[in-house]
Structures are given as C-alpha cells and as structure tokens.
Amino acid sequence: MSTGMAATRGAEYFGTVSVAMVTPFTKDGDLDLDAGVALAGHLADKGLDGLVLGGTTGESPTVRPEEKLNLLKAVRSELGDRIKLVAGSGTYSTAESVELSRASEKAGADGLLVVTPYYSRPSQEGLYRHFTAVADAVDTPVCLYDIPSRSVVPIAEDTLRRMAAHPNIRAVKDAKGDIPAAMRLMEETDLAWYSGDDPLNVPWLAVGATGLISVIGHAAPAQLRALRDAVDAGDITGARTISNRLAPLMAAQARLGGVTFAKAALKLQGIEVGAPRLPIIEPTPDEYDRLAEDLRTAGV
C-alpha cells in the first residue's frame, strides 16, 4: 500500500516509471510503426506510465525528424492518454531543436526531452541560451537531459538554478550522478528529477526524484514499476532487492551499449524490433548467449 513517500512533482507531464524506447525497424531498415505501437502497448501493459520516443536510445542521430514524428503520432493514436509521451527533441543545433520541439508539440507530446548539445562543447552561457530558446518556443513542458558521458559538458549547478526560473523548464533527466547538488536543487527549485542511470534508480528515488527514465526497463518493466512502488511504500529494502536482482541487466547494458542491449533483450523475449542502424550493430552470437544468461539470472 502506498504511503506517498515517492515524489510526484512533474509526473503529470513526464510520468513516473518510463523507458527511453527503442525505435523499431523492419528487416530493410525502415521505420516499423506497427512494431513501435505494439512495443509501446506492451510496456504500458507492464506498468509503465511514460515513454520517451525519439531519444538517444531511440537512435535519434540516425532517425529522421519525420520518422520521429510519425512514431509519436502512431503511438498517441493507439494509446491515447493512457501513457505520457515525451519526445526526444534535442540535437546539437539550437535551430533544429526548436523546429523539432514545435513539431513534436503539434504531434501530441506531453513533454519534451532536450539533451545537452553534444560534440560542440558549448559554454554554460551557451547551454542556458540553447535550452531557454527551446523552452521559449513551445508551451509543452521541457525536461533537460544532463549526460556529460555523451555530451562531454555537464549542466552546472548554477546553470540549472538559472534555468529553473523559466516557467516551461520543469524537470531534469540526470545521467551525471551528482546527487548532493541535485538534492540542493530539489529543495531550492520546483524542478522534478528523474534518474537517467539505472544503477542509481534507488538512490535517486530515495532522495526525492520523481521517477526514472530507464533502458533496462525494456526487459524488466514490471520490475521497475515494483521498485518505485516499494520506495513509495517506504520499503527501501524491497526496492534495493529488486535493483540487485536486475544488476545483470545493468552490466549487460554497460557492456553492449543501450540500443544494442535493449533491442537484443527484446528479441530474446520474443519481441522483434529489428536491428539498430549503423554505426550501432547487433550483438555477436556469443554476446547473445551471454545476454540470454543475464536475462535468466535477472528473472526476466
């Protein structure tokens, strides 16, 4: 039974237990809308209340804008308001991010996930202007994606504090892991926090994060729902037990990479979503065998 211990700030836009969903492709490498709708429905059936479509785990650098929008429209048409749909609309170009964010808003997104511009290594002032340009251009709530392992540049604490004053910047997906700084910002601002790194799901929820945006949740959606429910009920020990059981999936994701892991894990569970687009590739046969053993060990 819930005691309401888990935070709910931002849940009305971004959900609480979400997956950064892969983008399914046909054998010819084209967008597979039917598989995308089926996968979204499967994840919703297993307890997820949020999906990120067209994000980096959705292979955003190699998926064309019209493909991202078509997938968003198709999932919205099929699932309706049953689940929160967040569009990955950030790129390394501010102008392109604004354009895709506006189009995603028109396509029915509940929220927008805007990643730190990658490769170009902007200054903190550049980050501030980039994110606020996107937030100024739309009415849909924006979640910042702070992932310096991919973007190189972290969003500094003072920059996050500045952006928290923008009425349309509502949340942070954190794959940086500076929990003490985030705790200060959760106390000082109205920003919602989301775990963007599966090994830290329990610590993030325990210190006030609203939820998580997972990769391993492709293979274990019901378990992640149970994990957050345990935290909400004050059962940190139970949440920790679930997380430890899923540790082989976290190790597999680190070993294979998020896209390769998620698509291969789904295939092993009987859900065909196609191979990744180059430069990302499928696992080797030996890697598939090792992943299958990880899934068995994790109970999924």
The verdict on whether 73 is a catalytic residue reads: no
Q: Please, is 2 exposed, middle or buried when counting C-beta atoms within 10 Å of its C-beta (0-12, 13-18, 19+)? A: exposed
CA 110/CA 107 separation, integer angstroms = 10
Token pair recorded at residue 204: 């993030």
CA 170/CA 189 separation, integer angstroms = 10
* Catalytic member of 13, 118, 128, 145: 145
Q: What's the CA angle centered on 211, arms 108 and 31, to 5 degrees?
A: 40
Token pair recorded at residue 262: 């998620």
CA 34/CA 23 separation, integer angstroms = 11
* Catalytic member of 68, 84, 173, 263: 173
CA 92/CA 69 separation, integer angstroms = 18
What does residue 219 show for φ and ψ, rounded to 5 degrees?
Answer: -95, -20
Of 56, 225, 60, the residue nearest 145 (C-alpha): 56
Q: Are 141 and 168 in contact (CB under 8 A)?
A: yes
Q: Which helix (H) or strand (E) holds 143?
A: strand 142-146
Of 237, 247, 192, 180, the residue nearest 216 (C-alpha): 247
The verdict on whether 145 is a catalytic residue reads: yes
Q: What's the CA angle centered on 21, arms 77 and 256, to 5 degrees?
A: 160
Token pair recorded at residue 199: 């090994």
CA 14/CA 26 separation, integer angstroms = 29
Length of the chain: 300
Catalytic positions are 145, 173
